Amino acid sequence: MKDDIFKKILDNTVMLKMPEQSISTFGTTNINYHLLSKLKDTTKIRDGRVISFKPEIIIAQNIEELFDGFGEASDIYARELYEMTGSNPKILNYKFKNKPGSVEESSRPFIDVFKTLEDKIEKTGDALTAIIKTPNEKWEIPVMKFILDMTVKSAQNNIREMEEHGMFPDNEGIPENVRNRIEYLFQAAAKDSSRIKDLGKLLNEYGLFEQYENRFFKLF
């Protein structure tokens, strides 16, 4: 896609209502959207849902693999959006799946359609629905940009909550909470030999038995 076309699409995209809630740190987030495209005599309304899967801690990521269901050219869109943002979460891996829904046209004025949707969201207290004004063509691009914006907005909180739970790995790739669990089991096994089995299982699960081997055998 030519850069000028891509830029024109985003320049004609307006975020009318952003979801109040952020992407969840520890579970799947379902984000609804209403896309409004102003045509000659009507307003086209596209409804859909983006599933944001539980963020994962990774060492590296390929943004082209993070989007599913956004059309055949989603890998091209993703690369161009990545270059535009200039940065991307490098610790957390976010993956999304788009679920397009209904498409209809309304003869009502654009502003009336928007107000009706906005009022409905406010009455239901829905904190995970967006309303976006988009061009009628290549509407997938604004949706992808919207999701990336939500990711940037959510990342700091997601990282903070994961840090609080000791989920980030050390230099050997072992999460802090696993290290803490190992130390806890060493102390527990020193007082109760029945916990030695649990300790050995955890060490083997993470390939750490050799690292703790001397301490482990001193428990017998």
Q: Is the pLDDT of residue 1 over 80?
A: no
CB half-sphere exposure, 127, CA atoms < 13 A: 6
Dist. CA 157–CA 69, nearest whole Å: 27
Tokens of 108: 């009502």
Q: Write the pLDDT tens digit of every residue in 15-35.
A: 999 999 999 999 999 999 999
Q: Residues 145, 10: contact at Cβ < 8 Å? A: yes
Tokens of 56: 């994962």
**61 band by pLDDT with thresholds 50, 70 and 90:** very low
Burial of 19 (0-12, 13-18, 19+ CB in 10 A): buried
Q: Write the pLDDT tens digit of every residue in 164-203.
A: 898 877 777 788 899 999 999 999 999 999 999 999 999 9
